[in-house]
């Protein structure tokens, strides 16, 4: 495209309709119709009324467009999705079909995130080789380059990349929000020499100021989730133990805000194995911390009197009432002797385990009991069973049932059917069996980016 003439005004597929008058109706800058200064010159009643109506129509159109775009932005729940929406909306407002948004919080705590609009990974990689003209804190709030190939002051590498990727012009806005300060920037590219009109720039600026506040909230949530995830990972087993006669597998799908579910597998004296799953009430960092305290205490009680699961849970219940009076918890503890495949199970308000084998798929009928912390004194009888060679004991938390979205009785039936439908090779491998059950119960779970409940599924196969 030749640059001999003046740069054109960008307007590629913009959803914001052009005003019917010659002056740009910038929101917040124009006087309301009828006030002095709204239109220069000698007022002519008929002409003035028509101009005021046109101006009001343009204002309404601008407000409607901004409202629709901000509503779409409010529906995003992750930083990457929000940045993509900012690029799409901004590109529509300024008339650009390609762009890049970079999140780099000024406090240096991250996370650093880059997303593109109409640009692939290779093109984004090329853009990262362009040196920044200024430090982040010194970057202007708005930057326009109307002709990247001929405009003076453009660096050689910047010009080389622009020619390579076919960029003729660019328009950038800084993303800053209140106390959060600088968050990053959004940059849009035109295919040829171009420049957004003043009205387009004003609308894009209004939108990006709102978008920055939304990004600041998502950034705070993201950092909170990262902190909770790091704490949870430190409090749960990094790996499962190896115990002769038993093969173990586990899947833990944590809640976005931090849930209080736990799992554990603990080698005990004389070749025994303690298995436990459970969960504390509440969510967030406090629930995760309480979960860590209970799980650690349960390990100690299991070492001292693990052969009596009722005693283990009774001790845990007493500890909970003394140290966590405002919380309740569900728990299930199983004491297994792999050599004889003998298992003793006790539960406190928890879902019954499921035995999966070639000849049977059935729930272990543990006694009904209240969760820990709900009664002045907890005690319920344990249940003993003997697993057949090749059978697997599945322990899980109620989040597995809740994520199905079905009533409890139907969720139990679905879990039983999922385990029963596992082919023989899948039943022989506890890791494959866990994956099979999860996929059968939650085939569309990927559509839920921020689940509200933990899911734990622990499998122990007895050889």
Per-residue model confidence (pLDDT) at position 10: 45
The per-residue pLDDT for range 28-38, each reduced to its tens digit, is 333 333 333 34
SS (H, E, C) 112-155: CEEEEECCCHHHHHHHCCCCCCCCHHHCCCEEEECCCCCCCCCC
Domain containing residue 147: CATH number? 3.30.450.40
Does residue 54 form part of some domain? yes
Instruction: Compute the average pLDDT of residues 432-441.
Output: 94
Cα angle at 428 between 422 and 434, to 5 degrees?
55
Helix H or strand E segment including 412: helix 408-420
Same structural domain for residues 221 and 257? no
Per-residue model confidence (pLDDT) at position 420: 95
Peptide bond into 111 cis (omega under 30): yes
Q: pLDDT band at 22, cuts 50/70/90?
A: very low
Flag whether the pTM goes above 0.85.
no
Does residue 27 form part of some domain? no
Q: Which of 28-42, 83-97, 250-264 has the highest mean pLDDT?
A: 83-97
Residue 249 lies in domain: 240-462
Buried b (16+ CB within 10 A) or exposed e, 248-262: bbbbbbbbbbbbbbb
Q: Which of 39-53, 142-156, 441-455 has the highest mean pLDDT?
A: 142-156
Does residue 4 form part of some domain? no
Does residue 393 form part of some domain? yes
Domain containing residue 278: CATH number? 3.60.40.10
DSSP secondary structure of 227-285 = HHHHHHHHHS-SS---BTTEEEEEEEE--TT---EEEEEEEEGGGEEEEEEEEESS-HH
Tell whether the model's pLDDT for residue 194 goes beyond 60: yes
The per-residue pLDDT for range 337-367, each reduced to its tens digit, is 999 999 999 999 899 999 999 999 999 988 7
Same structural domain for residues 181 and 276? no
Instruction: Compute the average pLDDT of residues 425-442.
Output: 93
Cα separations in angstroms, 106 against 111, 179, 210, 276, 418: 11, 11, 18, 44, 49
Tell whether the model's pLDDT for residue 87 goes beyond 70: yes
Number of domains in the chain: 2
**Cβ count near 136 (within 10 Å):** 17
Same structural domain for residues 274 and 416? yes
Per-residue model confidence (pLDDT) at position 1: 40
pLDDT over 70 percentage in the chain: 84
The per-residue pLDDT for range 255-300, each reduced to its tens digit, is 776 778 999 999 999 999 999 999 998 877 888 889 999 999 999 9
Buried b (16+ CB within 10 A) or exposed e, 268-295: beeebbbbbbbbbebbeeebbbbbbebb
DSSP secondary structure of 38-90 = SS-S---HHHHHHHHHHHHHHHHHHHHHHHHHHHHHHT--SHHHHHHHHHHHH
């Amino acid at each position: 495209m030749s640059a001999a003439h003046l740069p054109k005004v960008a307007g590629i597929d913009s959803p914001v309709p052009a005003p019917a008058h010659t002056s740009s109706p910038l929101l917040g800058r124009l006087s309301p119709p009828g006030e002095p200064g709204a239109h220069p010159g000698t007022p002519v009643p008929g002409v003035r009324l028509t101009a005021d109506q046109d101006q009001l129509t343009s204002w309404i159109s601008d407000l409607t467009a901004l409202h629709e775009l901000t509503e779409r932005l409010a529906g995003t729940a992750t930083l990457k999705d929000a940045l993509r929406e900012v690029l799409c909306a901004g590109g529509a407002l300024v008339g650009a079909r390609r762009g890049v948004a970079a999140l780099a919080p000024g406090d240096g705590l991250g996370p650093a995130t880059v997303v593109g609009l109409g640009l692939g990974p290779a093109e984004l990689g090329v853009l990262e080789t362009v040196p920044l003209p200024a430090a982040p804190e010194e970057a202007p709030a708005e930057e326009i380059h109307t002709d990247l190939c001929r405009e003076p002051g453009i660096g050689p590498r910047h010009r080389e990349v622009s020619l390579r990727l076919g960029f003729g012009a660019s328009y950038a806005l800084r993303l800053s929000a209140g106390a959060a300060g600088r968050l990053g920037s959004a940059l849009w590219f035109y295919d040829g020499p171009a420049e957004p009109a003043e009205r387009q720039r004003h609308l894009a600026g209004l939108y990006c100021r709102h978008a920055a506040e939304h990004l600041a909230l998502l950034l705070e949530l993201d950092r909170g989730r990262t902190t909770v995830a790091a704490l949870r990972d430190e409090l749960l087993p990094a790996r499962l133990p190896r115990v002769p006669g038993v093969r173990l597998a586990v899947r833990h799908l944590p809640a976005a805000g931090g849930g209080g579910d736990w799992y554990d597998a603990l080698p005990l004296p004389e070749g025994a194995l303690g298995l436990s799953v459970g969960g504390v009430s509440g969510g967030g960092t406090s629930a995760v911390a309480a979960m860590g305290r209970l799980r650690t205490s349960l390990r100690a009680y299991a070492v001292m009197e693990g052969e009596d699961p009722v005693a283990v849970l009774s001790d845990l219940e007493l500890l909970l009432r003394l140290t966590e009076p405002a919380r309740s918890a569900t728990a299930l503890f199983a004491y297994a002797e792999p050599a004889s495949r003998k298992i003793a199970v006790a539960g406190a308000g928890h879902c019954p385990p499921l035995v999966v084998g070639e000849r049977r798929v059935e729930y272990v009928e543990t006694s009904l009991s209240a969760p820990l912390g709900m009664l002045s004194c907890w005690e319920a009888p344990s249940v003993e069973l003997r697993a057949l060679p090749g059978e697997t004991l599945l322990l899980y938390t109620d989040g597995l049932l809740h994520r199905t979205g079905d009533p409890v009785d139907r969720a139990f039936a679905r879990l039983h059917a999922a385990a029963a439908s596992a082919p023989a090779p899948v039943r022989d491998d506890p890791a494959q069996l866990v994956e099979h059950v999860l996929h059968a119960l939650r085939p569309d779970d990927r559509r839920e980016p921020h689940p509200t409940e933990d899911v734990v599924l622990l499998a122990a196969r007895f050889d």
